[in-house]
Homo-oligomer: A and B are copies of this chain.
Amino acid sequence: MDNFSFYSPTEFVFGKDTENDCGRYVIKHGGKRVLLHFGGGSAVKSGLLGRVKKSLEDCGIFYTELGGVKPNPRDSKVYEGIELCKKENLDFILSVGGGSVIDSAKAIAAGVCYDGDFWDFYCGKAAIKAALPVATILTIAAAGSEGSGDSVITKEDGMEKRGAGSDLLRPRFSILNPELTFTLPPYQTACGATDIMAHVFERYFTNTKEVEITDRLCEAVLMTMVKETPRVIADPENYEARANIMWAGTVAHTNIVGVGRSQDWNSHGIEHELSGMYDVAHGAGLAVIMPAWMEFVYKHDVMRFAQMAVRVFGCQMNFENPEATALEGIKRFRRFLHDIGMPINFKELGAREEDIPTLARNMGIKDKTWGFVRLSEEDVRAIYTIAAKAEL
C-alpha cells in the first residue's frame, strides 16, 4: 500500500426534507451573510429554492441571490459572484444545484479572498490560500463536487476549461436529498450512473498490489450501481434506489475507494476530447470509451480484469482461460451500459470515425500518458477505433 492522506471534512446531511434544515447548518458552520447561488429555473419551479429561502429566513440569516449558472460554468458568472460578495460583505456561499453550480461557488469563494484575478488559480499562476466557506444542496447524483475540493471553470475568451483545487474549497456541509433527483430524466440519470462507475473504475485499475480493502470498497460501490441503476431507470421515483445511487456517488468521490495506490484516469482524458468536439454528455462519452479502453489494456493484467468480471459482474471464473473471463466481464459491462440506455459506439453517440486522428491529436500527448497502462497517441487512436465499431 502506498502512503496516503485521506481528508473528507464535509458534514454530509442525507435524507428526506433535509434542505429544510439548511439554515441551521449555515449557522453551525459559521455563516451570517449568505450568497445563495443556483442554476436555472428548475430549482425555482420545483419549489426547492423557496424552501431554502424559508429556512434561511426562519434562522434570521441575511442572503443575496445569484442565479443563472450554466452547465460548464463560465468565468463571467464567477466575476459577478465575487463582486456581489464584496459589495454585500457576504461570508458564506450556499450553492443549490449540480456540479456546475458548486464548481462556480468554489471559484467565487477563492476569488473573494484574493487580491488578483481568480483565474490565476485556474491557470496555475497562484495557489489558493484562503476562501469563503462553501456549502451545497445537491440536485444531481454523480457530480462529486459536493464532497471534493475541486472545481472546473471555463474562460469564455477562448473557451479554455481549467481546474483548480484546495482543501479550503471542500464544502463545510452538503445536503443530499434523494427526492430532489426524482425528476431527473432517465438518460441524465444513466449518464450520472455511468460517471459514478467510471470514477471508481479509474481507481480500480491500479499497478499497486495487495490493497484488498480499497479493491473491496471499489467493488462495493460498483455492485451497488449494477443493482440500483436499472431500478431507478425503470422507476424514477423509487426512493431507496435513488438514495443508494446518490450516496454511492458521494462515497466514490471522497476518494475512500482510491487511497493507497496508483490510479488511471486515461478514459477520462480520452472522453474529454469527445464531449469537447461533439457536445455530448460526459457520462455518455464514458460509456463509449471505457469498455473500449478496457479491451485495449486488459492484457496488461488479465487477473485484475477477471477479478472485476467475477466480483462485480458475477461471471464464472474460467480457470483454464482467465482471459476469457476478463473479456466476458468487459462484455457484461458494455451490455449493462446499453441496457440502462447509454450509447455503446460512435454512431449511437453521434461521433464520427473520420475524426479519430484529430481527436487523438487534440489530447496533446508528448510521449505517453501516465496511468495503469501508459498510452501513446497511436494507442489512443486504437482505443477510439475500438469504441467507434463496438457492438454488443
Q: What class of interface size applies to chain A in its complex with B?
A: 35 or more
A220 near B224 with CB under 8 A, answer no
Taken together as a complex, chains A and B put the C-alpha atoms of A244 and B259 apart, in Å, by 11
Residues of B within 8 A of A319 (CB): none
Residues of B within 8 A of A14 (CB): 1, 3-6, 259-260
B240 near A224 with CB under 8 A, answer no
A213 near B248 with CB under 8 A, answer yes
B217 near A213 with CB under 8 A, answer no
Min CB gap A215→B, angstroms: 8
- Determine which of B18, B247, B260 lies in contact with A260 in the assembled complex, contact meaning CB atoms within 8 Å: B247
Check: A363 CB closer than 8 A to any chain B CB.
no
Taken together as a complex, chains A and B put the C-alpha atoms of A3 and B239 apart, in Å, by 12
Residues of B within 8 A of A216 (CB): 219-221, 223-224
Check: A227 CB closer than 8 A to any chain B CB.
yes
A11 near B15 with CB under 8 A, answer no
Among A16, A213, A216, A260: residue with most chain B CB under 10 A: A213
Check: A320 CB closer than 8 A to any chain B CB.
no
Give the residues from 218 to 266 in chain A that come closer than 8 angstroms, CB to CB, to chain B: 219-221, 223-224, 227-228, 239-240, 243-244, 247-248, 251, 256, 259-260
A11 near B3 with CB under 8 A, answer no
B251 near A224 with CB under 8 A, answer no
Taken together as a complex, chains A and B put the C-alpha atoms of A139 and B292 apart, in Å, by 45
Check: A278 CB closer than 8 A to any chain B CB.
no
Taken together as a complex, chains A and B put the C-alpha atoms of A216 and B14 apart, in Å, by 18
Taken together as a complex, chains A and B put the C-alpha atoms of A243 and B16 apart, in Å, by 37
Taken together as a complex, chains A and B put the C-alpha atoms of A213 and B257 apart, in Å, by 13
A-B CB contact pairs (8 Å), 14 listed: A1-B247, A4-B14, A5-B14, A7-B10, A7-B12, A210-B244, A211-B243, A212-B223, A213-B220, A213-B244, A216-B219, A216-B220, A243-B260, A251-B256
The 7 closest A-B pairs by CB, nearest first: A3-B15, A216-B220, A9-B9, A210-B240, A1-B243, A7-B11, A220-B220
